[in-house]
Amino acid sequence: MPPMLRTAAVLLLSAFAAHAAPVPRERVDAVAEAIADNYFDPVRGRSIADDLRHDAANGDFDALAPQALADALTARLRPLDRHFRVRWNAAGDAQQAPGPRRPSPAPANHGISTVETLPGDIGHLRLSQFAHFEFDDADAPERVSIDGALAKLSGTRAMIVDLRGCRGGSPSMVGYLASAFVAPGADIYNTFRTRNESMSEAPQTPHESPRTQLPLYVLVDGGTASAAESFAYTLQSAKRATIVGKRSAGAANPGGMIDIGDGFSVFVSDGTPVNPITRTNWEATGIQPDVPATSDHALDVALRLARARE
């Protein structure tokens, strides 16, 4: 290549690089702005945003393509809040999936994976998701389904609620299912605090026939997150259930995806739970099992515990 053309090419590439470099910085700035404006703790939200902008100004993200940028930001933010994640959609539309503790599309069979009575009259209820329903809808299919599952297991002498791999769902189901095992009016339910308001998981209409003395075991593992953790944490804190398995994900703070443009979206936690007994929550620490067991063996361990109570 002639020297003049080579020089022109270098200048052109340099100009392109100078123009392209700020693009990741613009996306990082948009993520930072979403966090500063929406994170439940405004002081901490601003601090997280300032740190992100500082890293971007240092060029930490300049060389990253969109998917790599989303992955890097998720890795950067996740230790600060287990719900933080950044997504990129190559089609150019932000992925606006709802947050794990907000109403979401109805899961298969309303989140109920297994309803069975195991040898020894031990009930086994496995959930893939805590399905959402409105309390003023007495015929809500999700509520009818969980009532039917509990009725089917009403003759058992112990119960195992299996939340292995359950990623979360709706607070209405958390409170309602917990009320099936505690006395009416029990002060055990988490309160979720946002910048402007508080919301309790105490059900507006509790289960009408709670089994307050039933031996109860809840299975958790590393795939148990968010609303599923809330259910386990609530009953463990109230000393109403024995938790069996592995430490859960530690994702306590609810929120939702925010569109920041160019196909990017970021999940920002806009609330945090406070348990009335512990005065804290399970963020980052997860649910610590009362009886440790591998995920594969947790059900067998719980069955042995239940049968040993004879």
pLDDT band at 90 (very low <50, low <70, confident <90, very high): confident
Whole-number Å distance between alpha carbons of 243 and 261: 42
Amino acid at 89: N
> Is residue 86 situated within a structural domain?
no
Residue 7 neighbours by CB under 8 Å, 6+ apart: none
Question: Over the stretch 19-72, which tens digit does the pLDDT of each residue have?
Answer: 444 589 999 999 999 999 999 999 999 999 999 999 999 999 999 999 999 999
> Into how many domains does the chain fold?
1
* Percent over 90 (pLDDT), the chain: 85
Residue 207 lies in a domain: yes
Does residue 96 lie within any of the structural domains? no
If one counts every other C-beta atom within 10 angstroms of the C-beta of residue 204, the result is 11
* CATH number for the domain harbouring residue 186: 3.90.226.10
Please determine, for residue 11, whether its predicted confidence score (pLDDT) is greater than 70.
no
Residues above pLDDT 70, as percent of the chain: 87
Nearest-CA neighbor of 157 among 85, 80, 213, 105? 213
Q: Average pLDDT, stretch 167-177? A: 96
Q: Is residue 54 part of a domain?
A: no
Per-residue confidence (pLDDT) for residue 138, from 0 to 100: 83
| Residue 296 domain-assigned (yes or no) | yes
- In the chain, the N- to C-terminal Cα span, in Å, equals 88
Residue 148's pLDDT band, with cuts at 50, 70 and 90, is very high
Kindly report the backbone phi and psi dihedral angles of residue 154, in degrees, each rounded to the nearest multiple of 5, phi listed first: -70, -20
Q: Residue range 167-194: average pLDDT?
A: 97
| Strands 158-162 vs 291-292: parallel, antiparallel or unpaired | unpaired
Residue 236 lies in a domain: yes
Domain assignment present for 18: no
**Binning pLDDT at 50, 70 and 90, where does residue 123 land?**
very high
pLDDT level of residue 155 (50, 70, 90 thresholds): very high
The phi and psi torsions of 132 (rounded to 5 degrees) equal -85, 145
Please determine, for residue 283, whether its predicted confidence score (pLDDT) is greater than 80.
yes
Does residue 282 belong to any structural domain of this protein? yes
Torsion sign, CA atoms 295, 299, 305, 306: positive
How many CB atoms are closer than 10 A to CB 246? 20
Res. 10 pLDDT band, cuts 50 70 90: very low
Domain with 191 in it: 108-252+271-307
**What is the predicted pLDDT for the residue at 309?**
86
